[in-house]
Amino acid sequence: MTPPKPSPRPDKVSLWRYMKLFRKDILSAQPQRLYRAWMAEFRTPFFRSYLINQPELIDTVLKKRPEDFPKSNRISEGLRPLLGESVFLTNGETWKRQRRIIDPAFEGGRLKDTFSAMHVAGQAAVDRLHPQVGAVVECEEITSHIAADVIFRTLFSVPIEHEVAAQVFDKFRSYQREQPILNLAAFVPLPKWLPRLHSRRTRKNAKEIRRLIQRLTAERTELIARGRAPDDLATKIMTTRDPETGHGFDTQEMVDQVAIFFLAGHETSASALAWTLYLMAMYPEWQARVAEEAVALDTADFAVMSRLKLSRDVFREALRLYPPVPMMVREATCPERFRDRDVPEGAQIVISPWHLHRQERLWDRPDAFDPTRWETENGKTCQRNAFIPFSAGSRVCTGAGFAMIEGPLLLSMLLRHYRFELVEGQTPVPVAHLTVRSKDGIWLRLVER
């Protein structure tokens, strides 16, 4: 038994059919050969796209020459209504300035300070689940709730039950299901003056989420001015000045950044944890071992993380099989030559963690769930060269360290109290919305341990 993955399309379909598949689900649109190919070319009437699946090429784009391959606006078009000019979408000097202000909040010492908020959110989730023991539960909804709670507690020191936090969470759930990774602008170059083809409901939800975030940000600005702000991530970011310019974020910029913190820190964590729970249900022997290790949580302080090694390996393996962000798109700013193939200026360079993490020429048993692989020579090599759930290089996700504390901790807390079991006829099918989710949810039976 191997973990499920989407059914790849036939190698040859019409462009129109491919565009429809791509918009509906980016994963199922891809042919089977991409799990072996080092590089593949896709042509449309308007541009060329190259998927690179070879570590050396990915290293060139993400690590050696990132400024020659900035983020593509084709992806940002779909996310702009919510994220504005957030660090996730910007390039060049704007992006560098944003990272100089944001990065200090996520340094090692600061991450240690977030542990207690994560632990409180985890315990709240354990308590919330108790009335559902014996029932079949939808895990993506559960993990979305936990991850949102973690973000609000660590960012603004408020629980998910807080009036504004609850409204943001509710609006975001609607936004997440309606917003595909790509809109029409990903395929057709639209003039800047032409309105973008976002649905009315998507625009309305994005506007409402940003209004609520602005309210939280304004309240925090007032607390900072009065010297009464809690020492959390929002305060750290809002009081940090760019060492080169001496300026920090204004209110609008802070709204942009909080929007991406919520998207990246909540949506991706929820996806990863939900798939991890499904894998635990598929492999009950591994689930039992993680639950046994979780006894270490009797000591609820940051030092316990060093004793949750198995939980960390299990979570890492889930990130390999189900990377929350399945594809990243860069743009070539000058003509290139990749694998004896000309890559024209303006070409889209697609890096797919989904395919790289299952690359048949690199990984031993790429489709198998095996947390022990990280101790093997093959696993260690691939972890260095072919494992990028948080991207890599200068644009590596700021919250990568945060996620690798949050995921194993919440997994251990849940499995210490509950057992998750498969439900007959409920096999999840991975699809790409904003992150890799299940087409119809992840349904598991909740049993008290």
Residue 228 has, within 13 A of its CA and on its CB side, a CA count of: 4
Whole-angstrom Cα distance, residue 372 to residue 310?
9
Whole-angstrom Cα distance, residue 100 to residue 131?
45
pLDDT at 185 over 80: no
Distance, C-alpha 312 to centroid of its chain: 17
pLDDT at 22 over 90: no
Q: Who wins on pLDDT, 188 or 325?
A: 325
Segment 305-355, tens digit of pLDDT: 999 999 999 999 999 999 999 888 899 999 999 999 999 999 989 899 999
Q: Is residue 10 in some structural domain?
A: no
Average pLDDT of the residues in 199-219: 86
Average pLDDT of the residues in 397-413: 95
For 114-131, b where at least 16 C-beta lie within 10 A, e where not — what string? bbebbbebbebbeeebee
Which helix (H) or strand (E) covers residue 211, if one does? helix 200-225
pLDDT at 192 over 60: no
Instruction: Return the pLDDT at 240.
Output: 95
Q: Tell me the pLDDT band of 191, cut-offs 50, 70 and 90.
A: very low
Residue 117 has, within 13 A of its CA and on its CB side, a CA count of: 24
Segment 90-119, tens digit of pLDDT: 999 999 999 999 999 888 777 888 999 999
What amino acid is encoded at 307 in this protein? Answer: R
Q: Tell me the pLDDT band of 173, cut-offs 50, 70 and 90.
A: confident
Q: Tell me the pLDDT band of 387, cut-offs 50, 70 and 90.
A: very high
Asked whether the beta carbons of 217 and 254 are under 8 A apart, the reply is yes
Mean pLDDT, the chain, as a whole number? 88
Segment 28-67, tens digit of pLDDT: 667 788 899 999 988 766 678 899 999 999 999 999 999 9
What amino acid is encoded at 191 in this protein? Answer: P
Q: Is residue 118 in some structural domain?
A: yes
Instruction: Return the pLDDT at 183.
Output: 45
For the chain, how many structural domains are there in total? 1
Instruction: Return the pLDDT at 172.
Output: 83
Residue 231 CB-density burial (10 A; 0-12 exposed, 13-18 middle, 19+ buried): exposed
Whole-angstrom Cα distance, residue 438 to residue 435?
10
Q: Is residue 401 in some structural domain?
A: yes
Segment 216-255, tens digit of pLDDT: 999 999 999 999 999 999 999 999 999 999 999 998 899 9
Contacts of 171 (CB under 8 A, 6+ apart): 205, 208, 209, 212
Percent of the chain with pLDDT over 90: 65
pLDDT at 415 over 50: yes
Q: Tell me the pLDDT band of 175, cut-offs 50, 70 and 90.
A: confident
Instruction: Return the pLDDT at 7.
Output: 62
Least confident residue range of 78-82, 168-172, 287-291:
78-82
What CATH number does residue 345 fall under? 1.10.630.10
Instruction: Return the pLDDT at 171.
Output: 85
Q: Strand 136-138 to strand 328-331: parallel, antiparallel, or no bridges (unpaired)?
A: unpaired
pLDDT at 26 over 90: no
Q: Is residue 8 in some structural domain?
A: no
Domain coverage including residue 147: 15-448
Instruction: Return the pLDDT at 180.
Output: 52
Q: Is residue 419 in some structural domain?
A: yes
**Which one-letter DSSP state was computed for residue 70?**
P
Q: Strand 48-52 to strand 348-351: parallel, antiparallel, or no bridges (unpaired)?
A: parallel
Least confident residue range of 81-95, 132-146, 148-162, 196-210:
196-210
Q: Is residue 9 in some structural domain?
A: no
Q: Is residue 257 in some structural domain?
A: yes
Q: Is residue 6 in some structural domain?
A: no
pLDDT at 176 over 90: no
Segment 262-294, tens digit of pLDDT: 887 888 999 999 999 999 999 999 999 999 999
First to last CA, the chain: 25
